[in-house]
Amino acid sequence: MPDPAIELIDIDKSFGVVRANKRINLAVERGTIHGIIGENGAGKSTLMSIIYGFYQADSGTIKVGGKTVDISDPNAAIAAGIGMVHQHFMLVENFTVVENVMLGAEQSPLLFSGIARVRAELKRLERDHSLDVDPDAIVEELPVGRQQRVEILKALYRGADILILDEPTGVLTPAEADHLFAVLRQLRDEGKTIILITHKLREIMAITDNVSVMRQGEMVATRRTADTDVAELAELMVGRRVLLTVDKAPAAPRDVKLSVTGLTVRDRRGVVMVEDVSFDVKAGEIVGIAGVAGNGQSELLEALAGIRRAESGRIAMLGRDIDPSQEVDPAEIRRMGCAHVPEDRHHMGLVLPFEENENAILGYQGDPRFAKGPLLDRDAMRRDAEAKIKAYDIRPPDCRLKTSNFSGGNQQKIVLAREMERDPDVLLIGQPTRGVDVGAIEFIHRRIIEMRDAGKAILLVSVELDEIRALSDRILVMFAGRIVGERSPDAGEGELGLLMAGIEGQEAAE
């Protein structure tokens, strides 16, 4: 390669018995966007953490601009011109944008020349890179797309020439993702080098110049994006052909298992998040809720699961009437036969310092299968966890490992296995495949269809329109807290997109 911006030579890294990176070699050409893909647990985040100095490689060499560098911590990475935009933003939420940009940039001589100059520099960076954000806004009040811009600005402010983005579109709306891509292309055209980790192969095809594939800790292939396609990449990732479409028979809906009438939910500040929502879900059908993130889907799901109090409305679930404006015990909802895969696995689905086998029964500790007198039957828990690890191909297959030590996609599989394998009659499922690889998506989709065919009533919330269209038997579109339309899964992407943007919906609702 004529001019690699960064080169990794024989990088090796183990965590105990897990060899996360095995003699990795990679050269990233300057002024290109280079995608890194791979199954959950393939070692992508570990490799990026080594480049950014969070982890130290056990052996190997990193060269930046042809020179060997010792990246002992993130400050050394920054000094070498490497910037990172994290999956879970590393911003201080109650600080302003300027304060966040200044924070941690102690090495920057600009810091000593006052906040006014920092603000001016920030303004210039924003203008030059179409990264519009108010420097004085408090970070937690910004939508996620803008918070991400702050992360990018922070890296640019510190002089990053090489920018690493880990799953940057996972939390973005489609419009925000398009904007991000425009920014990345512009940065590339200015000569910056971008390394992008994503599970979305369509994004790889749309935006990268080259793509490298990792499998089980190894770098197995690098391709020019123009010379490959989604099917080849999927196969390189998982080592077998992957079905990229979902095969399903027509639904055979039976009696209503979940009926929601006039549900209204406000958030802590009193803002209406769900407004007068009514719908039914029958046994043997999947009802998908489509919508841009932040239009009330999360609050709807939480109210149904009993973890958020509603203002008014009625819920009839599995023959029982629930008044959601009263305190509802989520454990009671679970006991009735309703399982819930929460959208935000870090905050609601898992206790990260717990062992895998403990999270595998979280919320179901009272189950007699796991009781030994007044105590927990640890052997039964481990046997149960091992069976789920096998069925969901959770890696590494170690139920004693702390949950925080699993990769993001494998953490998602731990939650899915726990909730789906309870054999619930009603399944509330939020963003089931966020952060999971194509092989696992194929498996999870198949499992959801099997559950439908076994007569379960399934409510699916996903911001991935492709996923909603592939799985749902009926699609409800939510906009600004209201259901603005019902469509069949055959409805075109354009038609659904307009509804999701509230354009047709407003007329329909009037």
Ligand X SMILES: Nc1ncnc2c1ncn2[C@@H]1O[C@H](COP(=O)(O)OP(=O)(O)OP(=O)(O)O)[C@@H](O)[C@H]1O
Strands 256-266 and 312-317: antiparallel
Q: With binding defined as CB under 6 A, does residue 45 bind ligand X? A: yes
Q: Which span (41-49, 121-129, 218-226, 366-374) binds ligand X, by CB under 6 A?
A: 41-49
Question: Three-class SS of residue 195?
Answer: strand
Separation between Cα atoms, residue 469 and residue 479, nearest integer Å = 17
E-only strand ranges, 240-341: 256-266, 272-282, 285-290, 312-317, 320-322, 338-341
| Closest by CA position to 384, among listed 374, 394, 408, 429 | 394
4, 35, 41, 337: residue in contact with ligand X (rule CB under 6 A): 41
State the burial class of residue 91 (Cβ atoms within 10 Å of its Cβ: 0-12, 13-18, 19+): buried
259, 261, 312, 405: residue in contact with ligand X (rule CB under 6 A): 405
Q: Which span (26-34, 43-51, 202-210, 487-495) binds ligand X, by CB under 6 A?
A: 43-51
46, 96, 193, 359: residue in contact with ligand X (rule CB under 6 A): 46
210, 407, 431, 462: residue in contact with ligand X (rule CB under 6 A): 407
Min separation Cβ 211 and ligand X, Å: 15
CA 510 to chain centre: 35
Min separation Cβ 423 and ligand X, Å: 26
Separation between Cα atoms, residue 157 and residue 212, nearest integer Å = 28
Read off φ and ψ for residue 484, nearest 5 degrees: -100, 0
The CA-atom distances, in angstroms, between 357 and each of 16, 401, 422, 446 are: 19, 8, 15, 24
| C-beta of residue 169 within 8 angstroms of C-beta of residue 180 | yes
Site string for ligand X, 17-36 (x = CB under 6 A): -x-x----------------
| C-beta of residue 496 within 8 angstroms of C-beta of residue 487 | yes
**Dihedral angle of Cα 260, 263, 269, 271, to the nearest 10 degrees:** 120
Which of 148/407 has CB closer to ligand X?
407
Min separation Cβ 43 and ligand X, Å: 4
Q: With binding defined as CB under 6 A, does residue 392 bind ligand X? A: no
Which of 42/500 has CB closer to ligand X?
42
Q: Which span (13-21, 134-142, 370-378, 446-454) binds ligand X, by CB under 6 A?
A: 13-21
- Report long-range pairs for 98-102 (Cβ below 8 Å, ≥24 apart): 98/122, 98/135, 98/136, 100/139, 100/150, 100/154, 101/135, 101/150, 101/153, 101/154, 101/157
Which of 98/401 has CB closer to ligand X?
401
145, 396, 424, 505: residue in contact with ligand X (rule CB under 6 A): 396
Q: With binding defined as CB under 6 A, does residue 43 bind ligand X? A: yes
Helix (H) / strand (E) containing 80: none
Q: Which span (376-384, 406-414, 417-425, 471-479) binds ligand X, by CB under 6 A?
A: 406-414
Min separation Cβ 403 and ligand X, Å: 10
257, 395, 445, 456: residue in contact with ligand X (rule CB under 6 A): 395
Q: With binding defined as CB under 6 A, does residue 291 bind ligand X? A: no
359, 410, 431, 472: residue in contact with ligand X (rule CB under 6 A): 410
Which of 4/408 has CB closer to ligand X?
408
Which of 275/442 has CB closer to ligand X?
442
| Closest by CA position to 98, among listed 118, 112, 128 | 118
Which of 78/414 has CB closer to ligand X?
414
Helix (H) / strand (E) containing 82: strand 82-85
Site residues, ligand X (CB under 6 A): 15, 18, 20, 38, 40-46, 395-396, 405-410
